[in-house]
């Protein structure tokens, strides 16, 4: 265990042993990040700003909802830094982490937990191929065929 799987598409992934996980600042514009290092040159960089900016539930009577951004950052920082026998995967598109999944033991606020948690930091398209496929605009022929199909459906019904 203690592995990092880096996925670049639904078909392509590679698993590495984790050497070290730290919370650091790589540059001023990127801000604080969770840096997961392997014994090779491979690594996963998870920006804390994107974790905090991810929409989260908040409704009356919610006992597990995060109340503020600091609480969210502390939770995920402790989850990664205090991990025990974890399996972490990072979804990477164009060199940027667009999502992650954490499965394993950890300690948060002094309490031991078994956690399965994942976040989508950027919209990812899960299909055969890259996560973020370029959108292809319909050609004039495609538009003409779509209009003809719509017209035939209108006539038929």
CA dist., res. 65 & res. 81, Å (int): 21
On whether the CB atoms of residues 88 and 115 are closer than 8 A, the answer is no
pLDDT in tens, the chain (157 residues): 799 999 988 888 999 999 999 999 988 777 899 999 999 999 999 999 999 888 877 778 887 788 888 999 999 999 999 999 999 999 998 888 999 999 999 999 999 999 998 888 875 444 555 555 567 788 888 889 889 888 888 888 7
Three-state DSSP class for residue 51: helix
Predicted structure pTM score: 0.71
CA dist., res. 6 & res. 29, Å (int): 24
């Amino acid at each position: 265990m203690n592995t990092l799987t880096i996925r670049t598409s639904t078909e392509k992934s590679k698993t590495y042993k984790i050497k070290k996980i730290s919370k650091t600042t790589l540059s001023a514009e990127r801000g604080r990040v969770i840096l997961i290092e392997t014994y090779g040159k491979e690594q996963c960089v998870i920006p804390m700003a994107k974790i905090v900016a991810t929409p989260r539930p908040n409704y009356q009577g919610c006992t597990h909802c995060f109340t503020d951004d600091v609480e969210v950052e502390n939770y995920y920082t402790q989850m990664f830094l205090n991990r025990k026998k974890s399996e972490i995967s990072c979804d990477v598109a164009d060199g940027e982490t667009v999502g992650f999944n954490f499965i394993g033991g950890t300690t948060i606020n002094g309490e031991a937990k078994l956690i399965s948690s994942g976040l989508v930091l950027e919209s990812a398209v899960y299909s055969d191929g890259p996560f973020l496929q370029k959108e292809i605009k319909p050609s004039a022929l495609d538009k003409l065929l779509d209009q003809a199909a719509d017209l035939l459906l209108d006539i038929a019904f």
